[in-house]
Chains A and B, each alone.
Chain A
Amino acid sequence: MEEAGAPRTARDGIRAAGPLAVVVGGFGISFGVLARAAGMGIAAPIAMSMTTFAGSAQFAAVSIREAGGTVATAVMAAILLNSRYVPIGLSVAPSLQGSRLPRFFRAQLVVDESWALASEDDGRFDPGVLLGAGLTLYVAWVAGTALGVVFGDILGDPAALGLDAAFPALFLALLAPQLRSGSARGAASVGAAVALALIPFAPPGVPIVCASVGCLLGLRGGPAEAP
């Protein structure tokens, strides 16, 4: 992310996403284990990872089913958790050129991690990195899910290994390089505070979408503010 200026390619995206793919593959395995334990069989969890491709929403939906919740409740939780992809989609829209169908498919490859990697200092997103990183993480997520559903029995309980702390650690590692400017640090503080304040009162996912208000700090700063 240091060598700003030159346009980056899909190859750069693949390279940047390599280490993250190991982590996302690990999440995929633990999702596969959970889905198998929830009685979803083998094909359905893999199909879900191929078509939904959003870790937290899939974990939430499957956990709700495992706890005896209805399909409607599980889908609602997944939709709420993924509603952050509306603002995320708006932010990458200028980077996705071409006709409607390729735009649609490239939009499906956008996940938190590829979005963070593709972020440029000026609020734009590199289309090559979005594509390369998105594809890499997609393959890792689907392959991890398949490993988890097939070999889940011998892998044990992911929470005992501290895997639930791997989520925030990964997000923190993606956040750190984006905190160069004062307004970025302000937006991050507001976002975290809003989300924490809403956790006790709002369904899962809603606190994260509401944290988007942190970016309104951008209305305040003038164009003179350098990163």
Chain B
Amino acid sequence: MSGTWLLVLLCGAGTAALKSTGPLLLGGRPLRAGIARVVGLLGPALLAALVAVTTFGGDRALTLDARALGVGAAAVAIRAHAPVLLVVVVAAAVTGLARALA
């Protein structure tokens, strides 16, 4: 098997295992109230981490570049209740423009 197909196979199998661990172990059973409160905060915690890492993450270093301008513009668009497509277009356009001007 070529390296490429081995990569496809292992990434697929690994991800399938990670995604199905919770649902196969305790699928269908309701969470206790205390646990549900903790789980309810997982969304904000993980999504904020994704925002932070995809904005400031570099090669094992924190970086400040044109992405931050784009994400700042996206935040303004979100505050103005812009639809999600516009938010993403604004972020990409501002970042692309900043790179073109730099």
| A interface with B by C-beta (< 8 Å) | 19-20, 22-23, 39-41, 44, 47-48, 51-54, 56-58, 61, 65, 71, 74-75, 78-79, 82-94, 96-98, 100, 103-104, 106-108, 110, 112, 115-116, 119, 121-124, 160-176, 178-179, 183-185, 187-192, 194-196, 199-201, 204, 207-208, 211-219, 221, 223
Min C-beta distance of B66 to chain A, whole Å:
7
Near A by CB (< 8 A), chain B positions 52-71 give 52-58, 60-62, 66-67, 70-71
With contacts A23-B85, A171-B51, A187-B45 known, is A93 near B23, CB below 8 A? Answer: yes
Contact status B44-A185, CB under 8 Å: yes
Min C-beta distance of A220 to chain B, whole Å:
9
Considering the chains assembled together, what is the distance between the CA atoms of A162 and B18 in angstroms? 31
The interface residues of chain A, by DSSP majority, are classed as helix
Contact status A85-B50, CB under 8 Å: no
Contact status B84-A75, CB under 8 Å: no
Min C-beta distance of B87 to chain A, whole Å:
5
**Any A CB within 8 A of the CB of B101:** no
Considering the chains assembled together, what is the distance between the CA atoms of A115 and B23 in angstroms? 14
Contact status B74-A173, CB under 8 Å: yes
Considering the chains assembled together, what is the distance between the CA atoms of A44 and B4 in angstroms? 7
Pick the residue among B22, B45, B53 that contacts A215 (CB under 8 A).
B45
Contact status A195-B38, CB under 8 Å: no
With contacts A71-B3, A212-B45 known, is A20 near B28, CB below 8 A? Answer: no
In the complex, which residues of chain A have a beta carbon less than 8 angstroms from the beta carbon of B18? 79, 82-83, 85-86, 89
Q: How large is the interface on B (under 10, 10 to 19, 20 to 34, 35 or more residues)?
A: 35 or more
| B interface with A by C-beta (< 8 Å) | 3-8, 10-12, 14-16, 18-31, 33-34, 36-58, 60-62, 66-67, 70-71, 74-75, 78, 83-85, 87-88, 90-100
Min C-beta distance of A97 to chain B, whole Å:
5
Contact status A171-B41, CB under 8 Å: no
| Interchain residue pairs A-B with the least CB separation, the first 10 | A123-B40, A214-B45, A89-B22, A51-B12, A162-B95, A211-B49, A165-B70, A169-B91, A191-B45, A162-B96
In the complex, which residues of chain B have a beta carbon less than 8 angstroms from the beta carbon of A97? 27-28
Contact status B8-A47, CB under 8 Å: yes
